[in-house]
A and B are shown apart, each in its own frame.
Chain A
Amino acid sequence: MSILTLAGVSKRYRDASGRSHRVLSHFDLDIGRGEVVWLRGQSGSGKSTVLNIAGLLSTQDSGTRHIDGQDLTAPTQGLAAETRRTKIGMVFQHSNLLPELTAIENVQIASIVKRTEKDVMERLSELGLAGVAQQQAKQLSGGQQQRVAFCRALVNDPVILLADEPNSGLDEKNTTSIRNALSAAADRGCAVLLASHTSAFETIVSRTLDMEDGRIG
């Protein structure tokens, strides 16, 4: 069954001078449960735009969008927020944690149900973060921050996980840890859409889509 379907999606941006640039053109994508899809391409090829549209952070100019069987081509802000909260997990190139909050609190603020520290701690422990759980995010290393971001993305057991250059700037050990987390999510049935210009996740992907100028190459 399809978890994420984008059909004929196009998107243009205007730059500061008002000129319009096409970033996606008639883009089609279909991801099933437990599948790991790798969007591969150079910077500016439109990978992040696909992830933003798939994650309901951005709207497409044309085309349709379905998530978990629900038509979300033009959702209200409230429906988009609810869908992001309950069905989508997102990991960004930079972890995007709230720096003043602890690792546990960063995970707790994303939870749709009130989770105790003990509950969150178990999840952080799975990613080797038990020792830093009570530290503020700004005190963590880049790798630790990115693992906390993974934990936050998965806290509501989403049906789709979107990861945009998740290993950017990380060493091999942390990259491995993130690869394992992605793989584990897919094993639980989560559809994973991964944007990366490196081959670090090659071993776990089900399908690779090469992107060039807003199209599948």
Chain B
Amino acid sequence: MASTGILVRRNTAQTLRKLRPLAIMMALAIAILLIADSVVSAGIARYSKSVTSDSSLNMVQVSSITSGSMKPITKGSLDEFAGIPHVADVYGWAQVDLTIDNPAQWPGSDNPGALWGTPYIRGVSPKITDGSVGQNGPGLGEIILPRSSSFGDFAPLLGQTVRFGYTQMISPGNGALATIDLKVAGMYDNSTPGADGTQPSYISSELLAQLISSRQFGNADMSDSDALPFDRAFIKPEQPDNLSDIQSAVSGMGYGVFSIANQIDSLPGLFRLLSFVTWAVGIFLVLFCVGVGGSMGGSWINQRVREVGILKAVGWPGGAISRAFCYELALVGAAIAVCGVTAGVLGSLATTTIVGAMDLELLRVEPWTLPNALWIASTLLIVPAFLCLGALRSAIGVARMDADSALRDL
């Protein structure tokens, strides 16, 4: 019909007014879904990634000792590991003794405060609680100290440049005290014992290599020597799925290998399940509302026999009436979806900003996070389609009514 647009436009506005409570409920459900997606799902995904990719779960720990033999880990070994396919990073692990040189800076009045210089390895080393440290740990001239020790508190040293003493080999079997100035860039949480022994301090791998080389007689330069010894090594795969292949490759080279992921292999599955449950709850919520909407839309159309009678009397065919009703419900659905998505996007921006600022351990989200674009697109398509389909049966039913019967309802 030439005038379908006129009828649909007018009726859409009318239907939105009549079904306002339902429309608001559906728009709210959509908004809640999008907000939940951007906050909870993103939080779970982020936490899952952090746990499975940026932690010791996603590390292969290499030792020089196997059941039958011993193979030293050297700088050359690290280069070999780095050449294995899908290896993202390789870290040598060793400890060097460090002491605070200035007695005035000792945590205890009669104790120099022995610290063990340890390479900072992201995901393995403990959490840094204070200070300003880059994402990849301390820089070459920086050090991270424990927050406290049994002798006293290191916190006053935060931000200061401290002179540390260490042992330098001057001849076979003879060492002498050498010093190095390092800025205390941060404090780590040592409230629970870690895997790095008693009272470690954290330095960069480059600095560790320098200090180890000075332990070698003749100050051997790290870059020229493949012989610098490490007690252990850590290998980070590009993806958690690459872990077992890398483990096999390293094992094949004669080293001892170990990974926590082998022991907690159900964790990634748990995160996938959590993400799926959040997704399924969201889908259920939307489909429930759409189902209710379709049902109420159908009921609303069933009440419009009078309108059908008039349209038939002026010559509208049944098919044109059904189509007009379907277009109308689709437009109503589109209006609801647009309102819901708008509210969801604004709500997501606001909620992620608030939740992000709260810095929750289990729900780390980036501020100003938008909902998933796929969700937005799906919502904009699914809601109008389902409302239209939900009302289709009623629309066809009333449009098939005999004109006389419809008018008799007047």
Contacts and interface: CB of A to CB of B under 8 A. Distances in A.
Are chains A and B native binding partners rather than an unrelated pairing?
yes
Interface of A: 52, 55-59, 77-78, 80-86, 88, 90, 92, 94, 96-98, 100-101, 105, 108-115, 152, 156
B287 interface: no
Interface in B290-322: 307, 309-318
B7 interface: yes
Contact of A111 (B3, B307, B310, B403): B3
A109 B7 contact: yes
Contacts of A114: 2-3
B125 interface: no
A78 to B, nearest CB: 6
A108 B8 CA distance: 13
27 contacts: A52-B404, A55-B313, A57-B404, A59-B404, A77-B317, A80-B403, A81-B315, A81-B318, A82-B315, A88-B315, A92-B313, A92-B407, A94-B410, A96-B309, A96-B310, A96-B313, A97-B310, A100-B10, A105-B6, A105-B7, A109-B311, A110-B3, A110-B315, A111-B2, A114-B2, A114-B3, A115-B2
A133 to B, nearest CB: 14
Interface string B308-345: 01111111111000000000000000000000000000
B11 A110 contact: no
A56 B313 CA distance: 9
Contacts of A97: 310
B312 A81 contact: yes
Nearest to A90: B313
A84 B10 contact: no
A57 B313 contact: yes
Contacts of A80: 403
Interface in B202-219: none
A79 to B, nearest CB: 10
Interface string B1-35: 11100110011011000000000000000000000
Contacts of B3: 105, 108-111, 114
Q: For chain B, which range describes its interface: under 10, 10 to 19, 20 to 34, or 35 or more residues?
A: 20 to 34
A158 B320 CA distance: 21
Contacts of B402: 58
Query: Most B CB atoms within 10 A — which of A77, A84, A109?
Result: A109
A52 B11 CA distance: 27
Given A57-B404, A100-B11, 10 more contacts: A80-B403, A81-B317, A98-B7, A100-B13, A101-B6, A108-B2, A109-B7, A109-B314, A113-B2, A115-B2
Nearest to B306: A96
Question: SS class of chain B's interface: helix, strand, loop or mixed?
Answer: helix
A100 B410 contact: no
Given A57-B313, A110-B315, A152-B314, A98 B307 contact: yes
B6 A109 contact: yes
B313 A85 contact: no
Nearest to B13: A100
Contacts, number: 84
Nearest to A88: B315
Given A78-B317, A81-B317, A105-B6, A100 B14 contact: yes
Nearest to B400: A77
A101 B10 contact: yes
A85 B315 CA distance: 4
Contact of B403 (A57, A110, A112, A113): A57
A52 B408 CA distance: 11
A59 B403 CA distance: 10
A94 to B, nearest CB: 7
B316 A98 contact: no
Nearest to A158: B315
Nearest to B17: A100
* For the complex of A and B, 3 pairs with smallest distance between CB atoms: A85-B315, A58-B404, A110-B314
A80 B314 CA distance: 11
B331 to A, nearest CB: 15
Contact of B315 (A86, A105, A113): A86
A62 to B, nearest CB: 17
Interface string B263-307: 000000000000000000000000000000000000000000001
Contacts of A92: 313, 407, 410
B300 to A, nearest CB: 14
A57 B311 CA distance: 11
A112 B2 contact: yes
A81 B316 CA distance: 6
Given A57-B403, A98-B307, A105-B6, A112 B318 contact: no
B315 A57 contact: no
A196 B299 CA distance: 37
A88 B316 CA distance: 12
A55 B377 CA distance: 48
Nearest to B15: A100
Given A100-B10, A109-B1, A57 B314 contact: no
Interface in B382-410: 402-404, 407, 410
Contacts of A52: 404, 407
Contact of A57 (B2, B11, B307, B407): B407
A82 B313 CA distance: 11
A33 to B, nearest CB: 21
A101 B7 contact: yes
Contacts of B403: 56-58, 80
Query: Most A CB atoms within 10 A — which of B10, B11, B314?
Result: B314
Contacts of B1: 109
A113 B1 CA distance: 8
A77 B318 contact: yes
A115 B1 CA distance: 12
A55 B72 CA distance: 102
B84 to A, nearest CB: 72
